[in-house]
Structure 1
């Protein structure tokens, strides 16, 4: 039996209850993986596990990840997969101006080899362009049939509201895991109030909740986690954080699952509107992640998991990349743009 199906947001998009983050197949996590192997992995996710919600972006590679996903889905029924991609991060910074929105969409359509994108995200908010202007162009893409649904990534609660007033936002992508929970204060409640789906990326803390501090031992030298982009994985912090993993390991043993499955199950139990997108390049990990869908947790167990990883005790800051620099940065008021 494959992954259950859920409604993502309130606009009609239906996806698998767990998605597949494809970024690491082409970029950031060390040496680029063999294309044929990654295509086979995507096929196994879709055909064997029912994981049909595939996540990519134009900046992954750049461009090579969209091309890879496009090749993988070319032999599948288009309606059998839901493809999400993103625009907005460039080598010169963040862009959300209408001309760039359209240019990026056309490029993604070509690289993916599709007539439409199921879910099109603004990857990061452009602090120079009002969100209404950016989403206004995304709305036109929906009206033209190039995009089915629109989303935002790493957006503030206020920008989510402003965007949603221009065109219904189907999903918001954000970092959410046992050790990244600041979104629970404002962003998550806003999404739920507006009927917007929630798509957590890095739900396993970039692999930490799968194997603990051993994650750093096997990484190639050019993996972005190895060179200090994630402070929590650096030597001065990972030894302290290892204690939290060990608690999860102990708890998962009693549940007859892995620590990673327990961490994913905790996230999936936050609501039917939550669809995590763990990424992997290995079949074993893909199957293990999918297995988290079968892990049942009581309210008492959910609280125990949260107590085992107290957010106030996590050592180290969130990652040192665009996600941190631009996290919840707001776009300027529309009035200033029009003056």
Structure 2
């Protein structure tokens, strides 16, 4: 499987990242089957979070790491400082609390990729960078990143880090998909737009996309008339996205793949380093994702999938 490099981390990061929001010791046999199969196809990076399944996701991964004795072969991405009922938690105390808890659950003394799960624009970036720097210096974190931050806040934080000669954010995890959302899937979530894409390209910052396949929009199971999935209707139903789906179907036929594999390939063939966080739950889904990750798209194909036009005719 293809990999990318993330500054601060000596290990390569597989372009497919196995998501674990359904992991739990209660389904541990399934967890083992998925993770073993994921590593068999060449993956090495697992995405989790302090709050997934009330912490059970990290516990299950920690159990698997202990049994397989493969911690040094695995890239762990976990997230912290997610809001709770009483509001935002992006502050030094919450970061420390969540990080130490995640380390204990995972049974490890370091996190490869540590991510702030949300932003709180009311907190100055210097407070956040200084807090994370303490944990990087202590060896608890190899590389720091953000999930659902605007590029403006990332830029501000990294300018401060550079001014202090400390490590800034070296990767980001917003949503990037061929289907463009009408509104955030969850409050506070960020999906990159055209201007954001230019920023990532100019800065060559690695982007690890969640919902890169638009939560099943490209499976072929949905039509404009089928409005049974309220969230999908709310977020992804639009004329422009149905047009993108039709173009994905057309290109998929030409390449003898499926349209959802084309959607995955779109996210992985940008002009900057990208990974896709996937929610595969069995070997069949993993193999489908692997095939999608292997597809090479030209810039013209990527642009045509997104915007249409007559470019396709000249391939």
TM-score by length of 1: 0.77
Q: Alignment length, in residue pairs?
A: 290
- From 202, 210, 213, give the equivalent of 2:219: 210
* 1:54 counterpart = 2:46: yes
Equivalent residue number for residue 93 of structure 2: 99
CA distance in 2, matches of 1:226, 1:62: 25
CA contact (8 A) 1:57 1:66 kept: yes
CA distance in 1, matches of 2:71, 2:23: 21
Equivalent residue number for residue 44 of structure 1: 37
Cα shift at 1:39: 2.0
Q: What secondary structure, in the 3-state scheme, does the structure 1 residue paired with 2:53 have? A: coil
Specify every segment of 5 or more residues in structure 2 that has no aligned partner in the other structure, as ranges. 162-166, 182-190, 310-315
Structure 1 stretches of 4+ with a deviation exceeding 3 A read 9-13, 184-195, 225-230, 237-244
Q: What secondary structure, in the 3-state scheme, does the structure 2 residue paired with 1:213 have? A: coil
CA distance in 2, matches of 1:72, 1:14: 21
CA distance in 1, matches of 2:203, 2:10: 14
Deviations 1:100-123 (A, max 9, x none): 111110000011111100010111
Cα shift at 1:150: 0.3
Specify every segment of 5 or more residues in structure 1 that has no aligned partner in the other structure, as ranges. 27-31, 218-224, 310-339
Deviations 1:289-311 (A, max 9, x none): 111122122333223322359xx
Deviations 1:194-249 (A, max 9, x none): 443111110000111133418x99xxxxxxx956476136xxx4899556434422
CA distance in 2, matches of 1:193, 1:199: 17
CA contact (8 A) 2:205 2:272 kept: no
Equivalent residue number for residue 315 of structure 1: none
CA distance in 1, matches of 2:197, 2:272: 13
- From 27, 50, 58, give the equivalent of 1:34: 27
Deviations 1:1-53 (A, max 9, x none): xx122213476552112211222445xxxxx982211222011101x111111
* 1:253 counterpart = 2:253: yes
CA distance in 2, matches of 1:183, 1:272: 13
With 122-131 and 251-260 compared, the bigger mean Cα shift is at 122-131
CA distance in 2, matches of 1:278, 1:269: 16
CA distance in 1, matches of 2:5, 2:132: 21
CA contact (8 A) 2:109 2:140 kept: yes
**Closer, same or farther in 2 for the Cα pair 1:191/1:141, shift >3 Å?**
farther
Equivalent residue number for residue 208 of structure 2: 199
**Closer, same or farther in 2 for the Cα pair 1:192/1:133, shift >3 Å?**
farther
Higher RCO (CA-CA < 8 Å; seq separation 6+): 1
1:70-109 aligned at under 5 Å gives the runs 70-74=62-66, 75-92=68-85, 93-109=87-103
* 1:68 counterpart = 2:68: no
CA distance in 2, matches of 1:239, 1:185: 18
CA contact (8 A) 1:25 1:280 kept: no
CA distance in 1, matches of 2:257, 2:207: 25
CA distance in 2, matches of 1:298, 1:170: 26
Equivalent residue number for residue 17 of structure 1: 15
